[in-house]
């Protein structure tokens, strides 16, 4: 569990750690049950039957002006988005 906490950046109490462990165990047991289902002859899931991806051509265009791109940024520094560190300090 310590590795999951480290990777996710979480600081869990012992109670939260036990609850997470129980949740993850239930999730894994559920997936093991799914492995038991007979899926022979079942077609793969198709969210929109008969539809094909409608990709548009990727055409270059003018970028947003820096000020407009940053206008809703909660924090900025030297003309860039400013975000808290993700990995360590």
For the entire predicted model, the pTM comes to 0.46
Mean pLDDT per 10-residue section of the chain, whose length is 89 residues:
86 92 95 92 83 85 94 93 82
**What is the per-residue pLDDT for 20?**
92
The answer to whether 1 and 21 are in contact (CB under 8 A) is yes
**What is the per-residue pLDDT for 87?**
79
**What is the per-residue pLDDT for 89?**
60
Q: Which residues pair with 81 in a beta bridge?
A: 76
- In the DSSP assignment, the letter for residue 41 is T
Coil, helix or strand at residue 23:
helix
Q: Indicate the burial class of 35 (C-beta count within 10 angstroms; 0-12, 13-18, 19 or more).
A: exposed
**Please, what is the end-to-end C-alpha distance for the chain in angstroms?**
22
């Amino acid at each position: 569990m310590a590795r999951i906490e480290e990777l996710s950046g979480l600081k869990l109490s012992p109670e939260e750690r036990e609850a997470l462990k129980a949740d993850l165990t239930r999730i894994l047991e559920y997936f093991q049950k799914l492995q038991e289902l007979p899926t022979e002859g079942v077609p793969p899931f198709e969210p929109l039957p008969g539809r094909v991806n409608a990709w548009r051509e990727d055409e270059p265009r003018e970028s947003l002006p820096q000020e407009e791109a940053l206008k809703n940024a909660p924090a900025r520094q030297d003309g860039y988005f400013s975000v808290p560190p993700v990995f360590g300090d």
